[in-house]
Amino acid sequence: MADPGFTRIARLGAALLVLCCSLTPIFRGTAYAQVGTPPQSSPYRDIRPGHTLTPTGGYFSGDGGDFGIGPHSGPLLGLRYDVRTSRAVQFGFGVTIGDLQRFIVNPFVTLANRKTGPVDQSVTFLDLALQLNMTGGKSWHRLAPFIGLGGGLAIASSTPADTSGFDFGNEFYLTPGIGFRLFLSQRLHLRAEARATFWKLDYPTTFTQEPVEEPGTPGNPNAVITRGSLAEWTSSSWLSAGLGYSFSP
């Protein structure tokens, strides 16, 4: 049976591809329609090539998996660096710190006391992103929509209060997204983006053991996980916005 997490990733990737294919002819047709239009009357403006720095803020939202113990739900602050490599494609590198929350599940105690929290857990996101600019090297009425695909490493702080054996640690993640830039001038633009973030949670073997304080029976077990895998793919939303400044190297 296919992993549900990979199925969600495949579906989202297919949706973004369909969106890109459906919008590209529209922008291309509009570009053809502007041939012969005086430059001052054209809705298209050249985007300044070079490098861009963008301080960002946002919010990370999710459920933390089936048990809520993955880091989720909290504000984000970051910095993004982009290099335009062609008219349609650019690469970016981002560092983002999230002040997130998570729950604690204790597999050793009674069921009534099993889940506690939420507690704070900070996560540092280091990611590389490939961005496809759907209007190429120009903006349209100062707007430049894009789709992107990124991935990186999420580094979480420790949670001393969690004695279950679960440790998020460092996890690789995949984050497709869609967004736009609104150009205020040749150098300044507003950037907004919505991402879906996928990573895998690995649960400890203690989750398959009966709690010492309230053990179940073979027909009615009280373990946290009674069947299935000790790993789970989860998805969370990542919304961000920032002010970008373009400069030449």
CATH of residue 151's domain is 2.40.160.20
What is the number of residues in the chain? 249
Mean residue pLDDT of the chain comes to: 86
Is residue 135 included in any domain, yes or no?
yes
Is residue 154 included in any domain, yes or no?
yes
Is residue 39 included in any domain, yes or no?
no
Instruction: Give 122 or 45, the one with higher predicted confidence.
Output: 122
Is residue 3 included in any domain, yes or no?
no
Is residue 202 included in any domain, yes or no?
yes
Is residue 16 included in any domain, yes or no?
no
Is residue 24 included in any domain, yes or no?
no
Cβ burial 196-230 (10 Å sphere, 16+ → b, else e) = bbbbebebeebbbbbbeeeeeeeeebbebbeeeee
Q: State residue 95's pLDDT score.
A: 98
Considering its fold, how many domains does the chain have in total? 1
pTM here is: 0.82
Segments forming the whole domain that contains residue 56: 49-247
Q: Please state, for a pLDDT cut of 70, what percent of the chain lies above it.
A: 83
| pLDDT tens column, 216-228 | 998 999 999 998 8
Is residue 27 included in any domain, yes or no?
no
